[in-house]
Amino acid sequence: MAQRGSKKQVITPLDAPQEFVVEARQEKRARDATQDTPLMRALGLAHYWQRLPDERRVASAAEVAKAEDIDLAQVRPMLRLTLLAPEVVEQLIVSPKAKLEPVIRCTWSRDWYSQAKRASSHATRTH
């Protein structure tokens, strides 16, 4: 593994089997083709912010807002993304039409079953 700027890159040994080299190239192309949407960035940021109090680096959402130099009213809706059911998150990730604003503005149940049911019924209405 070698550092290339801010990214790490796996350098394939010269004696690596050809199948490994081909597979590594295909995986890289697939990663490069994946778009980093606002929704994806928000999900990642929300989980990062959630880890901060979990690791006792901050004590509250207010401290997250202060550290990020943004308003608390922006932090709280983003943190609610961490309460989404894994099935809902997976559905959002694979859906090219999923947008951040409707997801954040939605009043999601705390029950994962209800969330999944709502997300699947919404998906069938939009397709």
Residue 15 predicted with pLDDT over 80: no
DSSP string, the chain: -EEETTEEEPPPPTTS-HHHHHHHHHHHHHHHHS---HHHHHHHHHHHHHHHHHTTS-SSHHHHHHHHTS-HHHHHHHHHGGGS-HHHHHHHHH-TT--HHHHHHS---S-HHHHHHHHHHHHHHH-
Q: Which pLDDT score is estimated for 19?
A: 81
- pLDDT above 90 covers a percentage of the chain that reads 58
- The pLDDT confidence band at residue 114, using thresholds 50, 70 and 90, is very high
37 band by pLDDT with thresholds 50, 70 and 90 = confident
Query: How much is the pTM?
Result: 0.68
